[in-house]
Amino acid sequence: MTAPQGRGRPADDPEEQDPGLARERTSLAWTRTAISFAALGGAVLKANVISGLLVLAVAPVVWQLGRVSRSRAARTDLPTVGATRLFVIALTIVAVSLLCFLVAIFGRSAPLGLR
Amino acid sequence: MSWSRRLTTLLPRAVERDNSGTEPDPRFTFANERTFLAWSRTALALVIAGLGIVQLLPPFPRVPAGRHLLGLPLIALGAVLAAAAYVEWVRSQRALRRGDPLPHSVLPWILAATITGIAIIAGVVLLVSALR
């Protein structure tokens, strides 16, 4: 770890040279999660427009949460900074699943047992 | 510890107040967060798959409830996986702070059981719709 890193011998783990990469990857993971919400919103949109718009509206909120995490993590060294954000994400997915459950049962294109 | 006590230790306020151990390497904290996010996306993918099966698939001949038999469990397990991912994140973060070995994860087990169960249901639905 403390050994000098010569030009010809890069560190085994690039993060040992730049811990900021971990932050970058986490930021990208947040973006991917936001896109996943948007994808789900698009799928719901086909079945129920209002529910679809509701789920689509979550995507920019998630994206914003990821940005908040970056700036806050840079300012504080609180260990579990973001427990609330992750809790909100988990809770949102549970709520969205419930919504999708109802949409799947009562949705326009799939009346149970009729088609 | 009772169930309700155990549940309150999972609430974000309790997690953020937990001062046990020492601050782990920030890279570990970031990695733990990414793992949670990856499981969240997996949960969302299960919900998308379940919804897609119910809404987009043509109905199975002679098995009118077939699409719901496949899709609704997928959606429900998406919710379970999201909640389990949060619990897992709290436990891992606590272990990182205290220098304990990382706790045994049940999430891969949940996912494998889900996929196996759905595959079995799909096989049965297909057989019934083909044979009857």
Alpha-carbon distance A65 to nearest alpha carbon in chain B (angstroms)? 12
Mean pLDDT in residue range A27-38:
93
Task: Give the pLDDT confidence score for residue B58 in this predicted structure.
Answer: 87
What is the per-residue pLDDT for A87?
A: 93
The 3 state secondary structure assigned to chain A is CCCCCCCCCCCCCHHHCCCHHHHHHHHHHHHHHHHHHHHHHHHHHHHCHHHHHHHHHHHHHHHHHHHHHHHHHHHCCCCCCCHHHHHHHHHHHHHHHHHHHHHHHHCCCCCCCCC
Categorize the per-residue pLDDT at B2 as very low, low, confident or very high, splitting at 50, 70 and 90. confident
How many contacts, defined by CB atoms under 8 Å, are there between A and B? 142
Q: What is the pLDDT of residue A71?
A: 61
Mean pLDDT of chain B: 90
Does position B46 have pLDDT exceeding 90, yes or no? yes
A74 close to B (CB below 8 A): no
Q: Considering only CA atoms, which of B41, B44, B48, B51 is closest in space to residue B71?
A: B51
- The confidence score (pLDDT) of residue B92 equals 93
Distance in angstroms (rounded) separating the CA atoms of residues A30 and B38:
9
**Confidence (pTM):** 0.84
8 Å CB contact of B67 and A110: yes
Q: In this predicted model, what pLDDT tens digit does every residue of A45-98 receive, in sequence order?
A: 888 899 999 999 999 999 988 887 666 555 555 544 578 889 999 999 999 999
